A and B are shown apart, each in its own frame.
Chain A
Amino acid sequence: MSELAIDREIDRSKMQVSDEVAIEITNMNKWYGAFHVLRDINLTVNQGERIVIAGPSGSGKSTLIRCLNALEEHQQGKIVVDGTELSNDLKNIDKIRSEVGMVFQHFNLFPHLTILENCTLAPIWVRKTPRKEAEETAMHFLEKVKIPEQALKYPGQLSGGQQQRVAIARSLCMRPRIMLFDEPTSALDPEMIKEVLDTMIELAEEGMTMLCVTHEMGFARQVANRVIFMDAGQIVEQNEPEEFFNNPQSERTKLFLSQILGH
C-alpha cells in the first residue's frame, strides 16, 4: 500500500482536541470462541480527536471499532461511549448507535432505496424527524459530499467512490458526535480513493471526532492527531503521527512500517 499524496492545504483551525472524553475503554477483552481476539484494551478518546488505527490484517483493529457501537459484543471490561456504558440493555445500544456514525468497507448502502431514502431513513424512523426536514438535511449533506445530483438514483447506479461518500452522508444525517471508519477506502479503485479521503479530511476540519481503521498512511500522517498500532489483539504502540512514522519504538511497528511504506 503506497502513500497517497494529499495535495491540499489542511485547515487546522477547528481541529482541536477538547478535554471532554468521548470514548473510554477500560481493560476490554473479547474472544471469538476460544480465540482471544482483543486483549486488555485501554483507550481514552477525547472529543475532537482524529485517531488512525493501523496494523496487519487479523490484528483486531476492525473488531475494536466494531465493539464501540456494539456490532460486536465484548466479554470483559468496560466501554463508555459519550457518557453511556455499553451493556446488554438494547435501549442503551440503540442510543449509542444513533450517536455514533459508522462507515464500512463495503458501504452497506440499502440497494432497494434511493440515495435520498438511504439518507433520510434513520432520521425519520429513529429520530422521528419530519420527512421534509430529513430530506433537507440529507440534501445538505449530499451537497457536502458533492453528489446532490445523484439523490434520486439507486446505489447500484453509482461508482464505488460515490457510494462511499453517500455512506458518509448517510451517517452524518444522524448528526453523530463520533464517526467510525472501518477501512473506508479498501474496496475502492485507486482513482476513487482520493474523493473519499477528501470528504474525510473535510469532516476532520470541522472538528469531528473520528476513529479510522485505514491503510492510508498519508491520511494518518496529515490528518490524525494520534496513530495506534495494533498487533495480535493488543495496542502495541501509539503516538503522534510524526513520532510514529519517523521514530517507531517497537520492533513489530518498525517491521510493519517498512513493509507498508517500503515500496
Chain B
Amino acid sequence: MSDIGFVRTEMLPEREPPASTTGALGWARANLFSNWFNSILTLASLYAIYAILSAILPWVFSPTWNGTSLNNCREILTAAGSVGDHGTSGACWGVIRERWIQLLFGFYPSELYWRPILAFVLLAVALAPVLFADKVPSKMLIFSGLYPFIFPWLLWGGTIWGPVAALGGFVIGWVVYSAASKTMSSLMGILLGAAAALVWWFVLSGYFVGALDSILPIGIEAVESRKFGGFMLSITIGVVAIACSLPLGIVLALGRQSDLMIVKYICVGFIEFIRGVPLITLLFVASTLLNIFMPPGTNFDIILRVLIMVTLFAAAYMAEVIRGGLAALPKGQYEGADSLGLNYWQAQRLIIMPQALKISIPGIVSTFIGVFKDTTLVSIIGLLDPLGLSNAIRADANWNGVVWELYGFIALLFFVFCFGMSRYSMYLERKLHTGHR
C-alpha cells in the first residue's frame, strides 16, 4: 500500500466538549469576555446599566402613593429628604392611586364596572380555543362563535333581543344559502344568503326587536358611547379591529391576486386608497364628515363609526402583509393542490392560507400591535381613551404638572398587551414549525 493509503478500522466514539465551553463560565467567556475589546465593552455596558438604574429606581420607588395632589407629593418627598437641586426627585404616584379606575374605565358608570370586567374575562375564555387550539377542547369554539354577540351587549347593554336579532341574521343568511346553493349554483346561494341577511338586519330586525321587547322586556341598563373611555375603550376598539381586519385582509389579499379583473381592481383601489391616507384623516371623516352624508336624524354611533374606520385601515395593511406570505409560497404548492383536483377555495383553505398565514405571522402581529397602539389616536376626535383622559386629569388643579407618572402608567398598560401579543406570535411560530420545506 502506498503512503497516502488509509483505511479506518473502527469508528471514533463521541466525546464530551471541553469544560471551558460549557456552563455559565463557558457562556460568559464566549459572550462577554471573548477578547480584550469585548471585555471593555462588557464593563462599560454594565456601568451604563448601573447609572441608568440608579437614576430611575429611586424615582420609581418614591413614597408618594398616598399623595393627594402634586403639592402634597412634594411635601412628602421633602419630608423624606429626597429633594434634589431641581425640584422633586421622586414620582408622584398619588395620581395613579386616585385615578387608575378612571384610566381603565373612563366615565363608565361605576356600579356597572362588573360588565366590562365580565366582558373581558369572557373574552379570554372565547380566545382560549382560538389561540391554544391544541390545549383547549374544540367544543369551546361554539362559545367563541357566540361571543361577538355577547360582547357588545355586555358593554352597551340594552335589550337582549338586539344581539339575538343580529345572530338571527346569520342564521337566516345560512338557511337561505344552503337552500339556494342546493337548488341553484353556489354563487347564487352566496348572493341570496347575503341579501336575505342584509334585508333582515336593516329592514326587519328593527320590528322584530321592538315587538319582542314590548312582549318580553329582558335587558340590562343601556350605557351611552360617550361614557366609554380609558383602557376599556382601547381594548374594545383594538379587539374588534384586530378580529375583523384579519378575515377582511385575507379576502382583500386573495382579491388582489384574483384573475377576475373587476374584483382585482376594486381590491387594489381599496388597499392603495386606505394605505395612502393617514388614519387620523379617516377618523375625522368618521367623526364629522360622515354625519353630513347620513339622512338627518340617523344616529350612527360614534364608536361604531370609529370601529369601522380602524378596521378598514387595519385590513388594508393586513392584506398587504398576507400578500407577502402568498408571494413567498412556492408555485409548486398551488400546482400540487391543483393536480390533486382540489378546487380554488379548497386549495386556498387547506393548502395555501395555512402556509401563507404562518409565513406572515410576524407581519400580522406587527400590524395587530400597530392597530392596538393606533387606538390612542381616537383621543383626537374627542373620545376619552387613556391619552385623552390623561389630558383631562392634568386639567385638574391638584394634578396639574404630572406628566411622567401618567404617561408611564399608560405606557406600561400598553406594553403588557403588546408584549403579550409579541410573545404569543413567537410561541405560535415555534408550534407551527414543521421542519424546513
Contacts and interface: CB of A to CB of B under 8 A. Distances in A.
Interface string B371-395: 0000000000000000000000000
Nearest to A154: B434
B339 A125 contact: no
A186 to B, nearest CB: 14
Given A108-B333, A111-B435, A125 B351 contact: no
B338 interface: yes
B227 interface: no
Interface stretch (B290-298, B342-350, B421-429): B342-350
B435 A71 contact: no
B332 A108 contact: yes
Contacts of B358: 112
A108 B355 contact: no
A122 B342 CA distance: 7
Contacts of B343: 90, 94
Interface residues of A, number: 30
Quick one: which of B330, B341, B346, B435 has the most chain A CB within 10 A? B341
B340 interface: yes
Contact of A125 (B332, B333, B342): B342
Given A106-B332, A108-B335, A112-B354, A98 B436 contact: no
Nearest to A158: B435
B432 interface: yes
A126 to B, nearest CB: 5
Contact of B336 (A109, A112, A157, A174): A109
B437 interface: yes
A111 B434 contact: yes
Contacts of A112: 354-355, 358, 432, 434
A95 B335 CA distance: 15
B346 A111 contact: no
A69 interface: yes
A97 interface: yes
A97 B339 contact: yes
B341 A156 contact: no
A111 B332 contact: no
B434 A121 contact: no
B326 to A, nearest CB: 14
Contacts of B355: 110-112
A51 B343 CA distance: 29
Given A98-B340, A170-B340, A104 B335 contact: yes
Contacts of A157: 434-435
B335 A156 contact: no
Nearest to A109: B336
B79 to A, nearest CB: 64
Interface in A83-112: 90, 94-95, 97-98, 100-102, 104, 106-112
Nearest to A110: B351
Contacts of A154: 434-435
B144 to A, nearest CB: 22
A94 B435 CA distance: 31
Nearest to A123: B340
A33 to B, nearest CB: 17
Nearest to B355: A112
A100 B342 CA distance: 13
A161 interface: no
A34 B354 CA distance: 36
A126 B338 CA distance: 11
B432 to A, nearest CB: 7
A224 to B, nearest CB: 22
B6 to A, nearest CB: 23
B354 A126 contact: no
Nearest to B434: A154
Interface string A33-76: 00000000000000000000000000000000000011100000
B434 A122 contact: no
10 residue pairs, one from A and one from B, having the closest CB atoms: A156-B435, A98-B341, A108-B336, A122-B340, A154-B434, A108-B332, A97-B341, A102-B339, A126-B341, A157-B435
Given A111-B355, A111-B437, A157-B434, 16 more contacts: A97-B339, A97-B341, A98-B340, A100-B339, A104-B335, A104-B339, A106-B330, A108-B336, A111-B435, A121-B350, A122-B340, A126-B340, A155-B437, A156-B437, A157-B435, A171-B339
8 contacts: A94-B341, A95-B341, A98-B340, A106-B332, A112-B358, A121-B340, A126-B346, A156-B435
